[in-house]
Amino acid sequence: MPLSESLKNVLVQYYDYCRSNANGQDYFFAKSNGEKCSSDTIYKKFRKMLYYAKISHGGEGQGPRVHDFRHSFSVHSLANMAEQGLDLYYCLPLLSKYLGHKSLAATDSYVRLTAEMYPKLMNDVNQICAFVFPEVKQL
């Protein structure tokens, strides 16, 4: 399961409190009328949470950013799959698809932080990639 148990519990509480009368609306995080929240609304709420948590914001493009959650999720998911002994050759395309990417190249930027945080994991990935991307010899 890609969600931790504690996050799942919070989302269930949110659903019970805010969305239980949604009548099958498409959006989980929605306005009270069922319409989707705008990205501007989500950004403003995020900045408000940073303020209350006393987390400084480095300015536009400096973060923390809402999009950083996707990066963090990707890195931790890949690390968890490796720690569970799953075959990364099969897991990387699954992670890519889960993120909604159309190629592994699109997922690459999400897992770049992995090298610093999980050097053993990157060693495993490099061993796999040695077979996926053969050595090119000059003539």
Amino acid 128: pLDDT = 59
> Is 59 within the bounds of a domain?
no
Structure tokens at 113: 């932080």
Residues 6+ positions from 106 with CB-CB distance below 8 Å:
96, 99
Residue 38 lies in a domain: yes
Q: Are residues 34 and 73 in the same domain?
A: no
**pLDDT for res 106:** 79
The pTM assigned to this predicted structure is 0.59
Q: 72 with 116, same domain? A: yes
72 and 46 assigned to the same domain = no
Does one domain contain both 22 and 76? no
- Domain extent, residue 22, equals 5-52
Of the candidate ranges 26-35, 48-57, 123-132, the one whose mean pLDDT is the lowest: 123-132
- Whether residue 38 sits in one domain with residue 78: no
Residues 19, 45 within the same domain:
yes
Same domain, 128 and 72: yes
Do 125 and 90 lie in one domain? The reply is yes
Residues 72 and 27 in one domain: no
Distance separating alpha carbons of residues 3 and 98, to the nearest angstrom: 13
Q: Domains in the chain: how many in total?
A: 2
The segment with the largest mean pLDDT, out of 44-48, 68-72, 131-135, is 44-48
Same-domain status, 82 and 125: yes
3-state secondary structure the chain: CCCCHHHHHHHHHHHHHHHCCCCCCCCCCECCCCCECCHHHHHHHHHHHHHHCCCCCCCCCCCCCCCHHHHHHHHHHHHHHHHCCCCHHHHHHHHHHHCCCCCHHHHHCCCCCHHHHCHHHHHHHHHHHHHHCCCCCCC
Residues 76 and 111 in one domain: yes
Q: Is 57 within a domain?
A: no
- Regarding whether 92 and 44 lie in a shared domain, the answer is no
User: Higher pLDDT residue, 55 or 116?
Assistant: 55
